[in-house]
Amino acid sequence: MRKPLKISIAGLGTVGTGVIELLLKNGSEISRKCEREIEVVAVSALNPNRDRGVDITSFQWFDDPVAMAREIDCDVFVELIGGESGVAKDSCEAAILAGKSVVTANKALIAKCGTDLAFQAEKNNLGLAFEAAVAGGIPIVKSIKEGLAGNKIAGLYGILNGTCNYILTTMRETGRDFQEVLFEAQELGYAEADPGFDVDGIDTAHKLSILSSLAFGNEVNFSDTYIEGIRHISALDIKFANELGYRIKLLGIAQSSEDGVVQRVHPCMLRFDSPVSHVEGVYNAIVVQGDFLGPTVYEGRGAGAGPTASAVVADLVDLARGMITPAFGKPASELDISNVIPIERHIGSYYIRLMVLDRPGVFADVAGVLRDEEVSMEGILQRTRSPDESVPVVMTTHDVEEGAIRRVINRFAEYETVVEKPRIIRIEPLLL
Predicted confidence (pLDDT) at residue 290 exceeds the cutoff of 80: yes
Tens of pLDDT, residue by residue over 307-349, are 999 999 999 999 999 999 999 999 999 999 988 999 999 999 9
CATH number of the domain enclosing 367: 3.30.70.260
pLDDT score for 268: 97
Tens of pLDDT, residue by residue over 4-21, are 999 999 999 999 999 999
List the one residue out of 205, 201, 198 whose CA is nearest residue 163. Answer: 198
What is the C-alpha separation between 181 and 418, in angstroms, rounded? Answer: 27
Domain closes at, from 107, 133, 159: 133
CA distances from 264 to 82, 158, 168, 224, 403 (A): 23, 11, 19, 9, 15
Sign of CA dihedral 74, 77, 78, 81: positive
CATH number of the domain enclosing 25: 3.40.50.720
| Structural domain contains residue 340 | no
Do 116 and 261 have their domain in common?
A: no
Do 150 and 297 have their domain in common?
A: yes
CA distances from 70 to 38, 96, 148, 166, 188 (A): 20, 9, 36, 41, 39
| Structural domain contains residue 152 | yes
Do 196 and 290 have their domain in common?
A: yes
CATH number of the domain enclosing 167: 3.30.360.10
List CB contacts of 178: < 8 A, sequence separation 6 or more.
167, 171, 230, 231, 233, 234, 235
Do 297 and 163 have their domain in common?
A: yes
| More confident position, 415 or 327 | 327
| Structural domain contains residue 412 | yes
| Structural domain contains residue 331 | no
Tens of pLDDT, residue by residue over 196-210, are 999 999 999 999 999
Tens of pLDDT, residue by residue over 345-384, are 999 999 999 998 877 778 888 888 989 999 998 888 876 6
Contact 351, 241 (CB under 8 A): yes
| Structural domain contains residue 327 | no
Give pTM, 2 decimals.
0.94
Do 49 and 157 have their domain in common?
A: no
Do 203 and 218 have their domain in common?
A: yes
Do 116 and 145 have their domain in common?
A: no
| Structural domain contains residue 312 | no
pLDDT score for 429: 87
Residue 111 belongs to domain spanning: 5-133
Contact 5, 41 (CB under 8 A): no
Confidence of residue 388 (pLDDT cuts 50, 70, 90): low
pLDDT score for 431: 55
| Structural domain contains residue 240 | yes
Mean pLDDT for the stretch of residues 220-225: 95
Tens of pLDDT, residue by residue over 25-67, are 999 999 999 989 999 999 999 888 888 888 898 999 999 999 9
For residue 427, list its beta bridge partners: 269, 349
Do 207 and 252 have their domain in common?
A: yes
What is the C-alpha separation between 361 and 127, in angstroms, rounded? Answer: 66
Do 250 and 361 have their domain in common?
A: no
Do 24 and 91 have their domain in common?
A: yes
Angle, helices 162-174 vs 235-244, to 10°: value is 80
List CB contacts of 290: < 8 A, sequence separation 6 or more.
148, 151, 152, 153, 154, 296
For residue 424, list its beta bridge partners: 352
| Structural domain contains residue 317 | no
Contact 302, 105 (CB under 8 A): no
Predicted confidence (pLDDT) at residue 183 exceeds the cutoff of 90: yes
> Domain tally for the chain?
3
Do 209 and 286 have their domain in common?
A: yes
Q: Which of 107, 112, 207, 249 is catalytic?
A: 207
Do 279 and 379 have their domain in common?
A: no
Contact 179, 291 (CB under 8 A): no
Contact 262, 254 (CB under 8 A): yes
Instruction: Assess whether 123 carries a catalytic annotation.
Output: no
